[in-house]
Amino acid sequence: MQPRFEQFISEKQYLQNVTPATVDWYRHSLRWLCTESPTDADLKDVVFRMRERGLKPSGCNCIIRAINSFLHWNAMGLDVKCSPLCKHPRIMSMKEPTLVLPVYTAQQVKKLVGFRPKGFYERRMHLLVLTLLDTGCRIGEALCLHVGEVDLDNLLMTLDGKGGKQRKIPFSMELRKGLFRYTREFCPQTHMLVFGTRHGLKLDRHIVARDVRLFCERLRDALSLALKPFPRKHKSMETKPELPVARRGMFKSAKSRR
Ligand SMILES: [Zn+2]
């Protein structure tokens, strides 16, 4: 990596205290830039290469944001905030299509919830999927969750969110049952990770994201589920003490409804 890129990342890391995930993002994005002082033609070339490699507009924009951050720092330093008045070169972001993502239906979620896992690994994966479904949290947030951060009495869990922001979110009575049984059996101490390895170590979020996908694909074959993203919970629900009736109802197993 070019020395100027390294200096930019060091200043962001030590002076602005950006998270390790942001440092990785800068490193990954700046690889697309071949020179420390790019001309307009170089910047256009970056976009051409990204499109040739098959990146979607959203993926290109993610890289463009990091490169523009470097270009601003290169010209103005850290102290001045970037604005439209800046005269330094920059890459225009691409227009992204606004799509409605397909999500699981209540029927499919019911089948997913009703799955009966066997053994440690299957139980950990199933509980993780249920947690993602129930709370709408990010996979990285779930993997950092400690037993002591799960308040079973008040149905609240404290998550370490993106950008080092902690937040409390509610979960359902049904998830409480699963969390209680699993933590009592596999991670009884408060300092332990809920979704850690057998030896209590943290799992890699990219590997687990792939495993969740494979798990859902396997269930799709078994239960004819389509592989779709989980419905994201509305932001305002995070502060509400109770989940809406429809959502709680969705989580009930077929057995408890009878
Ligand atoms: Zn600027």
State CA 90 to chain mean position distance: 28
81 CA to middle of ligand 1, Å?
A: 7
pLDDT class of 191 with cuts at 50, 70, 90: very high
Please check whether residue 86 lies inside any domain of the structure: no
**Contact yes or no for 230/104 (Cβ under 8 A):** yes
What separation in Å is there between the alpha carbon of 161 and the centre of ligand 1? 28
Q: What distance in angstroms lies between residue 87's CA and the mean position of ligand 1's atoms?
A: 7
Sequence-distant (6+) residues with CB within 8 A of 251 are: 109, 113, 133, 134, 172, 174, 175
pLDDT of res. 255: 41
Q: How far is the CA of 8 from the centre of ligand 1 (A)?
A: 14
| 71 and 125 part of one domain | no
pLDDT tops 90 at residue 247: no
Tell me how far the alpha carbon of residue 83 lies from the centroid of ligand 1, in angstroms: 5
- Asked, for residue 55, whether it belongs to a domain, the answer is yes
Compute, in angstroms, the gap from residue 78 CA to the centroid of ligand 1. 10
Q: Record the pTM.
A: 0.71
> Residue 155 and residue 143: Cα distance in Å, rounded?
18
Q: Which amino acid is at 133?
A: L
- Residue 93 CA to ligand 1 centre (angstroms): 14
198 and 121 share a domain?
yes
From ligand 1's centre to the CA of 18, what distance in Å? 18
Beta-bridge mates of residue 156: 151, 170
The DSSP bridge partners found for residue 160 are 166
Structural domain contains residue 95: no
In which domain, by residue range, is 226 found?
Answer: 106-257
